[in-house]
Structure 1
């Protein structure tokens, strides 16, 4: 299989794109360590996988706004494997609303902590396992909201702030880890179709030029980047909105 024995960590894997990544990599032969805010949600992703790929998914609970849970997640993965080849920072707290006072203080802080702080701490605590790999990659699912000048999303200002912080971290991380052989890729998609591999629309989602960007297309971008030789490096993928 294409990614036989690749060790992959995916955060925010309870639904939509995160679950698509987990299922996709497991079917390509990877061992996938998935987290969701609760263990039950992560276990449900594992239960949704059909066939032998189910045994290649390992579920963990991890609230990305809580530093202790991130540290515990890393310790638990270390108990199962001596390396991580790919870390996908997908988890983030979505917050919508077009007025700053639409959200509570607690929602605002959780959005920033889980998205920006969670990404920083995930990299910090999984970096030793990544450095044990001979092909270490980090993928950050940022968002068009992390792009300077973007204002077309219905996301709350706190989500924009969190994604901008995540983008800044990804940029400096790429520059500083690159010389040591750790590649850092970031994706900046606009709103995209959230077809789910659990349901029939995963195969039937239109992929014509006039349609929204698809979950499948984003997964294929990640697969493409990870497959390339180590002298091949793409720092970011930016997408035209539809």
Structure 2
């Protein structure tokens, strides 16, 4: 990869699932600020469009919004088809979308919510990666970034999530572990992040630059963004498989 624009990498085409709010929105804004073209999805296309409108309001026009219900295979296929109509390749796929399910009692969640959590997190990640892989393979610097969670680590029970969320995140982790060696011969890097609960101030608000980031403070989305950008900007011989984080407190 030949850096351009004062040593910075040339613009990428980046797909981000679950980009309507929280960390997906944060990542979308920062990729756009780097000059990348961002292709966003959310279960409600109007929510994805709001993020796209925010990005356009910042002066960045290379942004597209799509509907994608990760729990619905037909919706995932339609999303992939829509991406293919916009671009002939993508450089980065960020698997960020997943349904959060709270509860410390297995019986506390309805069957339908449990099924939707597992389907959106595991099945959705598998199908999005499957259907966008042909476009990734057309890039000369393809990366898959998975936002998994410390809930996907064996023995970690500190997140106040339902057992189905833990199970789903372990499914994502297992997929990443298998895909990394399978895709490396094709030049695709699979990069997974396992953050604990973290603070995610509004990247367009004043708290973004004032949130404490000391050794005893809670992990911030700011640091997670830095990790993602660091990993994808490495030379192509550098395969960073995972970021693991200590949990403060």
- Taking the aligned partners of 2:104 and 2:49, their CA distance within structure 1 comes to 34
Query: 3-state SS of the aligned residue for 2:41?
Result: strand
2-structure distance, mates of 1:136, 1:36: 22
Among residues 133, 138, 142, which one is paired with 2:139 in the alignment? 133
Residue number in structure 2 paired with 1:157: 163
Distance 2:108 2:204 in 1: 33
* Alignment equivalent of 1:10, drawn from 1, 16, 22: 16
- Residue of 43, 47, 59 corresponding to 1:52: 59
Alignment of 1:27-106 (within 5 A): 27-49=33-55, 50-53=57-60, 55-106=61-112
2:244 maps to 238
Per-residue CA distance 1:56-87 (angstroms, 9 max, x = gap): 22111111101111111111111111100000
CA distance in structure 2 between the aligned counterparts of 1:121 and 1:201, rounded to whole angstroms: 36
**Secondary structure class of the residue paired with 1:42:** helix
2:8 corresponds to 1:24:
no
Helix, strand or coil for the counterpart of 2:101?
Answer: coil
Give the TM-score normalised by structure 2: 0.95
8 A Cα contact 2:11 2:34, kept in partner: no
Shift of the alpha carbon at 1:51? 2.9
In structure 2, how many angstroms separate the alpha carbons of the residues matched to 1:51 and 1:241?
Answer: 34
Count of residue correspondences: 241
Where structure 2 has 5 or more consecutive residues not aligned to the other structure, the ranges are none
Q: Which residues in structure 2 correspond to 1:175-214 (within 5 Å)? A: 175-214=181-220
Aligned with residue 150 of structure 2, among 144, 148, 162: 144
Q: Which runs of at least 4 in structure 1 moved beyond 2 Å after TM superposition?
A: 1-5, 49-52
CA drift of 1:3 comes to 4.8
C-alpha distance in structure 2 between counterparts of 1:33 and 1:133, whole Å:
15
Is the contact between residue 3 and residue 29 of structure 1 (CA under 8 Å) also seen in structure 2? Answer: no
1:88 aligns to what SS in structure 2?
Answer: strand
Distance 2:204 2:45 in 1: 19
Deviation sequence 1:114-141 (CA, Å, 0-9, x none): 0011000010000000000000000000
Q: Secondary structure at the match of 1:59?
A: strand
